[in-house]
Structure 1
Amino acid sequence: MTRTAPFDPTVTDVAPGPATGDADGRDTLLRRLVRIGSRPGPWRRGRILAAPALLLGFLMLCHARIPNGFGNPGSLIESFLPWFGLCVPVLLACALWRRSASAVVALLLPITVWLSMFGGMLTDKSRAGAAGFTVATHNVGADNPDPAATARDLVGSKADVLALEEITAQAEPAYEKGLAKAYPYHTVMGTIGLWSKLPLSDTRMVDIAQDAGPLGAAKPLAVKEADARALRATVTTDRGPLAVYVAHLGSVRVMPRKGFWTESRDRGVPALAEAMAADEHERVVLLGDLNGTLDDRAFVPLTSRMTSAQEAAGDGFGFSYPATFPVARIDQILVRGVTPDSSWVLPGTGSDHLPVAARISW
């Protein structure tokens, strides 16, 4: 049995008000519009990302102005300058993730600078031509476990002239024996040597150490030759004489109290450049382990007078050290008065360096 409420004439019907759900919906839409309006646009987003992009560009553009004060920061940065390009894709990915137009535009500076400096290294610049004359250089490594195998590998390079650095007294007989048949002419001074298929003459040491003996007295010639790190010889070719220099500049170190220590190397560069500038021969080649990349300002005395075979006729960056994962080209072939036709890196031989070679013509 259903009961109904008694009729009350004092109660009147009231029209229903707006639904609560509709009011909440309008409030939500309003808040969303406010958030969209206050959200930074693509040109305002990512300004923090734009700053390192611009800094990267200016760092590469103005690397020569970075002072070489304590720790040689300028030379250290220049030694690994090509690798700064790896920062670009990282910053680009972050800019796209943030949808930042300002960061993307800022990246145009480091991209442009890097391409202007190293874009040419991405192409093969070798030139086809006559057989030419092949030169090679290799730091064979003082700790090389198998000098005889290294000698066999180097014979396979078929170079006309072969320069070796870091030859130990124990390993020297193995190199002389292994290279004798292919290279009947050779000279060794200190820890460097030159092997040639053609006659050598006017062979002499080049003093790049310039170290004095006790109490400032000059070292005897025999002592200097035993410690020689550079030599010069004339190779007799059917197209005239070719002056060949072999050099192993001083090592560099990253030291806690000195930073990037390059004193020994930097002292040898101007001495070597001076000796080569005074050479009377028109055609000159420098082969050796220079313990530095040619982007390093320390090598200006050499690079201002000579041409890098790798930069002129190479394919890629031609990194040569360390052999297991090369990150820098510190083994160099520089020329004057001849034309580099091609330049390449040879396979590993058991040393911590890779051999490098170049074909030249004149």
Structure 2
Amino acid sequence: MTVAGREGKAGRGPLRAFRRGPDGGRRRGRLLAGLGLVTAGLLALHRFVPNTPGRLGSLLESFLFWLGPFTALLLLCAAVRRARAALLVLLVPAVAWAVAFVPLLLPAPSPGARELAVVQHNVADDNTDPAGTARALADSGADLIALQELVDPALAVYRRELAPRYPYHSVRGTVGLWSRHPLGATRALDIKPGGVTEPWQRALRAEVRTPYGEVAAYVVHLPSVRLGPGGLASARRDESAALLGGVLAADPSDRIVLAGDLNGTVDDRGLAPLTSRLAAPERGLALSYPAALPLARIDQVLARGAHVPAARTLPATGSDHLPVLVRVSLHGPARP
């Protein structure tokens, strides 16, 4: 009676989850630990995940941030199950995620001297309120506004609404740049991937004469990607990014600011021709797409000869993207 009673109490104690036999808490603890190790491996070694078939590597890197919430869910399950070994193992992916993403969550530094505020926004060709979108962007107080999917008749609305505060602008195809500061030479860029036969003009370069010297500003819209049964269809985007990377490599400018809908995150290896040459924001997640439930920042502002202290999103407009406001701090002496 006494022994049985003690055993009964032990069965109701804190180790109960480990006394359920082969199908009980121990097995669930091993499963959680296994998932934790896989998650840690994906976070730390994602560059080694092959991109074929289906560009699995790029797909993983597009949503790498969300392995953090997944790890938090695993930790919660391990805590509920009182699986102490699994809790210890799950600290590994938690630390790996923290190293990669916690810096983005830290408070942004105060604005400093010699900074430009840049808004990047894909306004959407089916935007039903271009006037309201333009006014919202102008109210941001940005120095530069880069827009994609500019189509008639909405283009005339953007020109009209932005002109009072942004007297300088240039449009090439479906991309455009509005500026508070004078623009110099502007030209279209050919980054059209092979196989595209229809008219396709989605990149420009403009010289911006800022108070801190001349800046080469790029506005681009890389081809869209699609997720389907065969994986991530990003071949055209990757080809276009490689073409643009070649243009950047040949650009002699000391200072470059690139704003665009790149249809990819800065972790995505498909954008390596750009991200290997340009600095990304140091603070701020600024998840921009889709606007209704943002999962990734595919609207980017990157820079060379400068660093990018912070990025944040602005309130939703009539687009399926959120606008992104990015601070760019220019280095070096101003040009005469």
| Gaps in structure 1 of 5+ consecutive residues | 1-24, 215-222
User: Residue 254 of structure 1 aligns to which amino acid in structure 2?
Assistant: L
Question: How many pairs are equivalent?
Answer: 323
The equivalences for 1:253-268 within 5 A come to 253-256=226-229, 258-268=230-240
Evaluate the alpha carbon distance shift between residue 100 and residue 208 of structure 1 in structure 2; reply closer, same or farther with a 3 A threshold.
same
Which residue does the alignment assign to 1:164? 147
User: Residue 337 of structure 1 aligns to which amino acid in structure 2?
Assistant: G
Cα deviation, residue 269, structure 1 = 0.7
2:64 aligned with 1:81: yes
Cα deviation, residue 333, structure 1 = 0.4
Q: Are the counterparts in 1 of residues 134 and 162 from structure 2 also a CA contact under 8 Å?
A: yes
Cα deviation, residue 127, structure 1 = 3.3
Post-superposition CA distance 1:158-200 (Å, at most 9, x none): 2121111011122111111111121222111111011112221
Which residue does the alignment assign to 1:150? 133
In 2, Cα distance between the equivalents of 1:359 and 1:91?
36
TM-score (norm 1): 0.82
Identity of aligned residues (%): 45
In 2, Cα distance between the equivalents of 1:178 and 1:88?
46
- If you compute each CA radius of gyration, which structure gives the higher value, 1 or 2? 1
Q: Are the counterparts in 1 of residues 39 and 93 from structure 2 also a CA contact under 8 Å?
A: yes
2:266 aligned with 1:324: no
1:108 to 76, 91, 101: 91
User: Residue 198 of structure 1 aligns to which amino acid in structure 2?
Assistant: H
| Gaps in structure 2 of 5+ consecutive residues | 331-336
Evaluate the alpha carbon distance shift between residue 168 and residue 233 of structure 1 in structure 2; reply closer, same or farther with a 3 A threshold.
same
Q: Are the counterparts in 2 of residues 127 and 341 from structure 1 also a CA contact under 8 Å?
A: no
1:294 to 257, 262, 266: 266
2:250 aligned with 1:269: no
In 2, Cα distance between the equivalents of 1:237 and 1:193?
18
Evaluate the alpha carbon distance shift between residue 341 and residue 116 of structure 1 in structure 2; reply closer, same or farther with a 3 A threshold.
closer
In 1, Cα distance between the equivalents of 2:196 and 2:132?
38
Cα deviation, residue 53, structure 1 = 1.5
- Secondary structure of the structure 2 residue equivalent to 1:104: helix
- Secondary structure of the structure 1 residue equivalent to 2:98: helix
2:170 aligned with 1:192: no
Which ranges of 4 or more aligned residues in structure 1 deviate by more than 3 Å?
Answer: 26-45, 210-214
Cα deviation, residue 60, structure 1 = 1.4
TM-score (norm 2): 0.88
Which residue does the alignment assign to 2:217? 244
In 2, Cα distance between the equivalents of 1:99 and 1:351?
46
User: Residue 242 of structure 2 aligns to which amino acid in structure 1?
Assistant: P
Cα deviation, residue 85, structure 1 = 1.0
State the Cα RMSD in Å.
Answer: 2.6
User: Residue 37 of structure 2 aligns to which amino acid in structure 1?
Assistant: L
